[in-house]
Amino acid sequence: ALASVAASCAMAAEQRGSDAGASDGGLQLLVVRCAVGEEREPATVDAWCLRVDGSAVSQDKLDHAVSQGQVTSVSCVPGSETERQWLAACAGHLQVQLFAASPTELATGADTAFDAGLGAVAAAAASGAGAGMSGGAGGNAPEVMGIVTAAEDPYFAGYGDIGMHELMLKDTARTEGYREAIEKVYPHLFKGAVVMDVGAGTGLLSLFAARAGASKVYAVEASPMASTLHRIVHDNNLAHIITVIPKKIEDADDLIAEKVDIVVSEWMGFYLLHESMLDSVIYARDRFLKPGGHVFPSSATVYAAGIECNQLMAEKVGFWDNVCGFDMSAAKPLASQRLLAGNPVVDLEVRQDQVVTETQTLLELDCSTVTVADTLRTVHDVRLTATRPATLHALCLWFDVRFDASGSEFLLSTGPHATPTHWYQTQILFGREVSISPDSPVDCHITLSRADDNPRFYNIEVELR
């Protein structure tokens, strides 16, 4: 198959001169690799067609990239009708990615040219192979023309929803917290650094890093949002710094050929561990971080406190006292049972005045040393000591993360006392109401264990003693 591909490449190269008049000005780059079925073994590229307006651009750069394993997928930019026909013929047996960019961009230099091409290839994401085969003309950035990769994991597919990203970006505490840490507290660490952003989403952390002076940023995003991220990078004229990697970091070894100075990520979920994205940060740290490098956030702490939920109880249970003028209080026991014994509440803010016990530290993680095994199952015994007489309805969990390096520290908190965030707090309601006073503490046995049927989720068990 590779031999026939090479022959087709040679044919396209020979034909290019006679087809020059038919070329629409798109980036005339053709990089080929054999891919059969599900096999994705790296293969030596036997033939290159790399030309800008008929002039060859340094093949040494591309040869070096291949030897370093940086080119690992089929990618094509059709610059003539002949190449379009060749692509159509190959579509049935080759993994084809199409993109386009202006000849001006490619002509600026071999490094820029290759980075632009590879960046565009990397940004291809799931909307149908072979779509739109017209080359871009005169633009300043590569345009994703067709897509062959898909986010088959429902978790990553979910992050293709722009609404999720809007929610996170509008979380001022989260967004401004990362911006302040990167651009105000630690810009000296980012200046000139090679940075990896794990789970980049729409790329805000990558953009912050670039603006803080990073020399190179790998924006790793496995969801369909990678294609939008690619456009965002180019629209902000940062393609020379930020490279989009449209894969899980665990599958990206073939696209990242260097170690990094900083791994940054917004990996936290409800009660810190939900979604288990910390696993990917740990992989990135162990595989790509230089000795002495930094992981941001640097550490994380989960806290627990007892809370009363009188307002929630009134809304969910007291509601049944009067429904359109009718007494439906007979339903209150069912409503109370459903509320108190149901799933944790993760979408309501807990006010500071609801906290009726002292706060206890449940879990502390050092992001430079934590392992996946450390997070699979954690068991904790805490004593909840009341700060005033109250009715205890639930255990409340929240977390803080710290950016701690070179003698400075920055804290992002999701607690009831802090600016509200999209994480809220996690309320685990007890199956009963508990009267509590300062002289009658309540002991809790708490277990967080990763679910067997979905490793993104955790089972939380709370036993009152």
Task: Tell me which residues are annotated as active site.
Answer: 266, 275
Q: How far is CA 436 from CA 25, 241, 333, in A?
A: 75, 57, 22
Question: Cβ atoms within 10 A of the Cβ of 244, count?
Answer: 33
Residue type, 268: M
392: left (phi over 0), alpha (psi -120 to 50) or beta: beta
